[in-house]
Amino acid sequence: MSAAMNKTLVLDYYQRVVADGAFRDIPKYIADSYIDHNAPPGSGTGPTWVEAHLRAIRHTFPDFTLRMHEVIAEDEWVAVRVTGEGTHLGEWLGIEPSGRRIQLRGLNLDRVVNGRIVEHWGEADTVGMLLQMGVDPFKSVAAV
C-alpha cells in the first residue's frame, strides 16, 4: 500500500474504532501479529489486546473523545499527534474516579503492512493526566 493509503487506514482506525468505539471493526484494521510496544511485557498483541485496552479506556473515561491533528506518512509508517479527552468516571490503575475532565495529548506511530496495523508505539503526557486527576505522581519519589 502507498503511504497515502496507509495514512487513510490509520486515520479511519483512530476515528471509527478509537474515537467512535466501533470495536467490532478492530480486525479490519489490526493484524493478528500486531504488537503494542508500550504494553506490559507478555501482553499487547493482536486484536484481542487492542479491544481490551480500548474497553479499559472507555471504562475509565465513558465519554472519551479523540481528535487527530498533524499526520505524517512515509512508506509503511504513519505518525499522528492526538488529543484525547474524557471525564474520569471509572477506576484506573487503582485510582478512584475523580469526576474531573481530563485532556491527554500524545503522539502515535503505527506501522502498516498489507493493509493492517502490525506495530504501534505511543507517547502520552500521563504525568499531566495524573495531575488532572488530582494525583501527585511524584509523591512516592524520594528526593535525590
pLDDT tens string 80-121: 999 999 999 999 888 999 999 999 999 999 999 999 999 999
Q: Classify residue 140: in a domain, yes or no.
A: no
Q: Kindly indicate the confidence band of residue 140, based on its pLDDT and cuts at 50, 70 and 90.
A: low
CATH number at residue 119: 3.10.450.50
SS (H, E, C) 72-130: EEECCEEEEEEEEEEECCCCECCECCCCCEEEEEEEEEEEEECCEEEEEEEEECHHHHH
Count structural domains, the chain: 1
Give the model's pLDDT for residue 41. 85
Mean pLDDT of the chain: 94
- 8 A C-beta contact, residue 36 and residue 45: yes
Q: Classify residue 65: in a domain, yes or no.
A: yes
- What are the grid coordinates assigned to 113, written together? 503492512
Kindly report the pTM of this predicted structure. Answer: 0.90
Q: Classify residue 27: in a domain, yes or no.
A: yes
Q: Classify residue 46: in a domain, yes or no.
A: yes
> Domain of 32?
3-133
Q: Classify residue 66: in a domain, yes or no.
A: yes
Give the model's pLDDT for residue 141. 52
Q: Classify residue 138: in a domain, yes or no.
A: no
34 phi/psi in degrees, rounded to 5 = -50, 140
Q: Classify residue 60: in a domain, yes or no.
A: yes
Nearest to 84 by CA among 116, 55, 100, 61: 61
Residue 144 pLDDT exceeds 50: no
Q: Classify residue 139: in a domain, yes or no.
A: no
